[in-house]
Amino acid sequence: MYIFKNKEELLEDEFIGKKVLVAGGAGLIGRQLVNLLLTSGAHVFVSDIRTPDVNFLKKVSFKKYDLTEYQNCLDVCCGMDYVFNLLCVKASPKIMKEKPASYFVPQILFNTNLLRAAYKCKVKKYLYTSSLGVYHPNELLIEDDVWKTQPSENDRFAGWAKRMGELQAEAYKIQYGWQDISIARPANTYGPYDDFHSDAAMVVPSMIKKVLTCDRQIVVWGDGSNIRDFIHSRDVARGLMVLMHKSPGPEYPVNLGSGVGHSVNELIEIITKNANKEIEIIYDPKINTGDQRRVMDQTRARSIGFEPLISLDEGIRELIEWYVENEKS
């Protein structure tokens, strides 16, 4: 059964009739994943601490749960065939430095309790969404290099929290023989339903909001030379489905990115072009902007049949239109 419009990935009816839980399904990646799963014939269940809009609730079975609690995890995993764990606590480098416990503790609980519950409930396949925060700074981020290094100091708490989730998955394979656990490491993800307003807003939504709401000037942290690998949330969702289907095992985590680096200054150029707006940039070098370069190797992703379809220019244009429409509503 083909479920993608371009460069179709044959998933061999993988999801038809399956009961699939998307934990964290009301968020940036989760909404895209839910739509693709529904298109593929799955029965979709969503659990999230956030309450989505009415139209979203009509599509799925939804439970508003705090999934740091083990009993809640048991409740949502019961009867599921597959579980996608998209649970995370988003934070900018600045927030991570000032409030690390607010990230670290709930992330560890999300990791531990959901996988533990999924195993207890005899879930067939499980996917854990990790992070590029697990990596040490390097010119190219390669999956098998992670355990040879420490996480970047700019992502110390986030990196270790996500690494512990990966290690737990490997432990379940070794002790219980559960091979069908997959690990995805998405790059800098952007798209509709992103966080445009809180202190935790990441670089793409933050810059779009700054450009669209400023009179003429915007303040950019650092000097704008930091390089990031950007990927649209719809592409990440596609990648997660391909990875769940191929199920290479927890010893083979897979990067989901574009493999192409863009500086923050380039990102701003793309935003201003698509917003048809001229601005003046004021740089603030005092604020920590994280590692200088983060670009993910895509060799393993290509080997399982995944390629992103949405260019940064196309994705930013779509996101600006979405932002403008939703800010008015």
DSSP string, 203-228: HHHHHHHHHHH-SSEEEEETTS--EE
CA–CA gap between residue 311 and residue 329 (Å, rounded): 27
Beta bridge partners of 62: 46
**Does residue 192 contact residue 31 with C-beta atoms inside 8 Å?**
yes
Nearest residue to 250 via CA among 151, 172, 164, 170: 170
pLDDT number for residue 5: 41
Domain 19-193+231-259+295-309 maps to which CATH number in 3.40.50.150, 3.40.50.720, 1.10.10.10, 3.20.20.70? 3.40.50.720
Nearest residue to 112 via CA among 60, 57, 28, 169: 169
pLDDT number for residue 21: 98
Burial code (b: 16+ CB inside 10 Å, e: under 16) for 133-157 equals bbbbbeebbebeebeeeebbebbbb
Beta bridge partners of 262: 228
Query: In the chain, where are the structural domains located?
Result: 19-193+231-259+295-309
Q: pLDDT for 185-244, tens place per residue?
A: 999 999 999 988 766 678 999 999 999 999 889 999 889 999 999 999 999 999 999 999
**Does residue 216 contact residue 162 with C-beta atoms inside 8 Å?**
no
Which two tokens mark 219?
């303040």
Low-confidence ranges of the chain (pLDDT < 50): 1-9
Nearest residue to 243 via CA among 234, 253, 233, 251: 253
Phi, psi of 274 (to 5 degrees): -75, -25
Identify the sign of the CA torsion 9, 90, 129, 267: positive
